[in-house]
Every structure is written in structure tokens, then in C-alpha cells.
Amino acid sequence: MPLTTLDWHNRFSIQAQWTRALRLYFFNLLKSVPLKYILDIGCGTGALLPDLQSLTAANIIGADINLENLLHAKRTCPDCDLSSADVHQLPFEDNSFDLVLCHYFLLWTGHPVSALEEMRRITKNNGYVVAFAEPDYGGRIDYPPEFINIREYQITSLLNAGADPRMGRKLKSLFAPNEFSDPVCGVYEGTWSRDLSREEIDSEWRVLEDDLSSILSESELQVLKKYDLAAWEKGTRLIYVPTFYAWAKVNK
């Protein structure tokens, strides 16, 4: 069964929880910088919008190409301004924003250089462009061994969907010094102080089933899911997808 908008919102919300500590750190770095207008491009169902409102007094604008996502985003953040927008042709004037950010987004753009050029265009001089999270499925690690093929399955599925499954490793090079200054790039720490909650496991599986339905049969998926749940119950299951972040000032 295809994922619903609610399924995606639940997934986006879990991803937002994973990356919140970095947003807290970043906005603390900018606490002395006047921020008036912030754009969340590729805002999806609005999972990040309420959190952004809690971190800054700036006006938060969310933009996405998917109208159904925007309708959900309006329910998620009723007082946020929302815009239907294609990142390659953003409907905003030059130098409109103090900060333009995205989250698990550039891998879906098809042309990330073009996307960042538009994000840079609408950002004020000395403003910031931020990619808060870009995964790299080429570095995915699964354990126990019966899950080792999931990496290649997911890479194939993402390529078929038009995404770049190795975007994370390319992020540093996209923030070129001739267009940006003071670039920062890193990868989220992998810590396993707790196992995933059942909600997180179910969310992971809804995405996996959607990703792998064109590669594995329903019976193969169910067998894999059975093994997966058993491994989580035993405490032996491990998933690690390197997820990169980057930000930099805009030079004009």
C-alpha cells in the first residue's frame, strides 16, 4: 500500500527529532545575528516548522512543490506562511531571506547545484544557507548479517525514484568557497544508547516496504520484516546511515 501523507508526516517528524540537537546548536550560534525572514525549502508536511518557531522570533516561511504536503503543513503550523515552489525556480526576489534551510531535501532535487544557486540567490549577503540533513545510503550499515543486502536494495530504489542515495558525501563540495564563506560540514554521530521505539520501527518499515516493493516480493518483505522485529526484540539490530550537514555564509 502506498505511503499516505500522514505516513510521510510521521516519518518526517521522527527525522526532525533526530536532528533537533544540531538546530539548537546552530541557532545558538546565531543568537546575536538579526534574523527576520527564514525559508524552509522543501518543507514537506511542515514537520520542522513548529520547531523553527520555537527557536527564533523570525518570520518562518515554508515552501514545497507538493500541494498535498502544503495542506498538511498548514494544519501542522497554522500561522506559518506557506508557498508552492519549485526549488529550481523559486518565486522570491533576490536577497529576500536571512536564512534559507533544507532538511533531507537536496537528494531529491535532481540538480543540487542548481537548487543551491537558487537558495543562494534569495539569501541576503552574509546570510546563511543550511542543509541540516542529507543521508548517504552508500555508507549504510545493517546488522545482523541477514540484513546486509538492504543497502543495495534501498540504493536501487532511490535511484529508480530519481533521488541521489549518496548525496551526503557530496555535500561539502556543493558549498563551494567561491560562492560561500566560512563553510561548516560534518556528519551526525551514530549512538546506540537506546533501541528504536515501536513507532520508529513501524515508520522505518513503512518506508522500506514502499522503497523495496518493486525489488522484493511481498513474501520476501514479510520474511525480512519478521527477522527485523526479532532482532530488535533481542537488542541485536543496528542500522546506521551516515547523515551529513553543512552551512555557510553567502558571498555577493
Please state, in angstroms and rounded to a whole number, the distance separating the CA atoms of residues 236 and 151: 18
Q: In the prediction, which pLDDT does 230 show? A: 93
- Right CATH number for 5-250 from 3.40.30.10, 3.40.50.12780, 3.40.50.150, 3.40.50.10240? 3.40.50.150
Amino acid at 34: P
Here the cell at position 110 is 535532481
Cα angle 82, 85, 87; round to 5? 125
- Beta carbons within 10 angstroms of residue 152's beta carbon: 14
Q: What 3-state DSSP class applies to 68?
A: helix
Closest among 248, 122, 87 to 180, alpha carbons compared? 248
Please state, in angstroms and rounded to a whole number, the distance separating the CA atoms of residues 160 and 154: 10
Whether the model clears a pTM of 0.85, i.e. scores above it, the answer is yes
Q: Is there a cis peptide before residue 91, judged by omega within 30 degrees of 0? A: no
| Cβ proximity of 49 and 77 under 8 Å | yes
Domain ranges of the chain: 5-250
Please state, in angstroms and rounded to a whole number, the distance separating the CA atoms of residues 211 and 205: 9
Full pLDDT tens readout for the chain, 252 residues? 678 999 999 999 999 999 999 999 999 999 999 999 999 999 999 999 999 999 999 999 999 999 999 999 999 999 999 999 999 999 999 999 999 999 999 999 999 999 999 999 999 999 999 999 999 999 999 999 989 999 999 999 999 999 999 999 999 999 977 789 999 999 998 887 777 788 888 888 888 888 888 899 999 999 999 999 999 999 999 999 999 999 999 998
